[in-house]
Amino acid sequence: MHKNFKGIEKTVFGRGSFDQLDSILSEKRSDNNKFMLFVVDYYFKGKPLEKRIPVKPEDVIMFIDVDTHEPTTEQIDNIRDSVLSSKGLPAGVVGIGGGSIMDIAKAVSLMFTNEGSSTLYQGLNLIKKPGIYHLGVPTISGTGAEVSMTAVLTGPEKKLGLKCEWTVFNQVVLDPELIASVPRNWWFYTGMDTYIHCIESENGIYNNAYSHAYAEQSLKLCREIYSGENSGQTPENDDKLMVASLMGGLSLTYSEVGVCHALSYGLSKILGMRHCYANCVAFNHLGDYYNDGVKEFKDMVKKHKVDLPQNLSKDWTDEQINAMAKVTYNLPHMWNHALGTDWKEKITLKDMEGLFRRL
Ligand SMILES: [Fe+2]
């Protein structure tokens, strides 16, 4: 079976396009109980962008702190329940922030129409009904969450996405001016998530001409942004990074991620490590899987003088390492892609523990 992927319905790209948000939403405001729910990264509370958000008196705006942990099933259920009990069903959900806020907006949109806890729907095509209208405005680029058909949530049992056609945004607004203020280290970690998406997408059995075309273009942009003569955090590179993130996301959608993301999920689930950072921590030590990619990655780390701590595993208990390896082992789609469908003959749970001990 070949993948049948639903893309974003509408996309605006360009500097200053954030100011079109009001007119885009005006067409949708008469649906359901005629109000919008805005979920916004707490970082923007009190910042100039807050004043530019087109919030009407009837709307609900929530500023969410995503610094401490990745989105959880409990958090999504709470947002849904509190809005439904106070105001009813919104006309739409607007997410303004990084990958975590994108995932929260997508997940909440689905959970408004699907009963029970979001833990019931972690997996592929478990969602029963389409969600409500949802729009994403990324303010950090790299995770590809703006284009993916999954909303990754950490639950009591697993870190796994609500993955189906209805997860994909109805609309995204890509305004490169919004990513200009991303702190340097995070500009690097999140951009490297895109880079790693492409390297992993390219190196495995699900790679194909379609995913390759997106990865090739995204990698070209990543190299201009992070290793070329004109690399660095410039307006031109911010334009490129927004597009690279989108294309990296499309590449992995038609292919798959691999060893690095499998480890990264373990680091996030057990240690609460942020996705993009966890990827960088892991990728640095995966030269035997992605030789050229890891070499290039190390050059980029050096060039931008990024902090990437070493010897983290000396502080982890055997139980933690075993738990992380179990999370990793339970991502067969990633291992299928990276090592082949006979991956269980090539790598064991113990070997995966060994990969974590490298970090
Ligand atoms: Fe990723």
**102 Cβ contact list (under 8 Å, min separation 6):** 95, 136, 138, 143, 145, 146, 151, 169
146 in Cβ contact with 197 (< 8 Å): no
Q: What is the pLDDT along the chain (359 residues), one digit of tens a residue?
A: 788 888 999 999 999 999 999 999 999 999 999 999 999 999 999 999 999 999 999 999 999 999 878 899 999 999 999 999 999 999 999 999 999 999 999 999 999 999 999 999 999 899 999 999 999 999 999 999 999 999 999 988 888 899 999 999 999 999 999 999 899 999 999 999 999 999 999 999 999 999 999 999 999 999 999 998 999 999 999 999 999 999 999 999 999 999 999 999 999 999 999 999 999 999 999 999 999 999 999 999 999 999 899 999 999 999 999 999 999 999 999 999 999 999 999 999 999 999 999 99
pTM score, whole prediction: 0.93
Q: How far is the CA of 232 from the centre of ligand 1 (A)?
A: 21
Q: How far is the CA of 289 from the centre of ligand 1 (A)?
A: 17
92 in Cβ contact with 36 (< 8 Å): yes
pLDDT value of residue 98: 93
Do strands 159-163 and 150-154 pair parallel, antiparallel, or not at all (unpaired)?
antiparallel
Angle at 292 between CA 233 and CA 200, to 5 degrees: 80
Specify which residues 40 forms β-bridges with: 63, 96
341: exposed, middle or buried (C-beta count within 10 Å: 0-12, 13-18, 19+)? exposed
pLDDT value of residue 176: 97
Q: How far is the CA of 349 from the centre of ligand 1 (A)?
A: 22
Please give the distance of CA 7 from its chain centroid, rounded to a whole number. Answer: 16
235-254 and 184-202 helices, crossing angle to 10° = 30
The residues whose Cβ lies within 5 A of ligand 1, an ion, are 193
Angle at 33 between CA 27 and CA 38, to 5 degrees: 70
Q: How far is the CA of 261 from the centre of ligand 1 (A)?
A: 6
Q: How far is the CA of 32 from the centre of ligand 1 (A)?
A: 34
Q: How far is the CA of 180 from the centre of ligand 1 (A)?
A: 21
Q: How far is the CA of 71 from the centre of ligand 1 (A)?
A: 14
pLDDT value of residue 67: 83
pLDDT value of residue 319: 97
- Given strand 133-138, what is the order of strands in its sheet? 10-13, 171-174, 133-138, 92-97, 36-41, 60-64
Q: Widest CA span of the chain, in angstroms?
A: 60
Q: How far is the CA of 66 from the centre of ligand 1 (A)?
A: 16
| Token reading at 117 | 């806890």
Q: How far is the CA of 266 from the centre of ligand 1 (A)?
A: 13
Q: How far is the CA of 158 from the centre of ligand 1 (A)?
A: 17
- Given strand 123-124, what is the order of strands in its sheet? 123-124, 159-163, 150-154
Q: How far is the CA of 196 from the centre of ligand 1 (A)?
A: 7
pLDDT value of residue 57: 97
- The CA R_g of the chain, rounded to the nearest whole Å, is 20
| Token reading at 179 | 């990513």
- Return d(Cα 164, Cα 41) in angstroms, integer: 25
pLDDT value of residue 4: 86
17 in Cβ contact with 178 (< 8 Å): no
Q: Return the closest-CA partner of residue 172 out of 132, 131, 136, 134.
A: 136
Please give the distance of CA 356 from its chain centroid, rounded to a whole number. Answer: 22
Q: How far is the CA of 249 from the centre of ligand 1 (A)?
A: 8
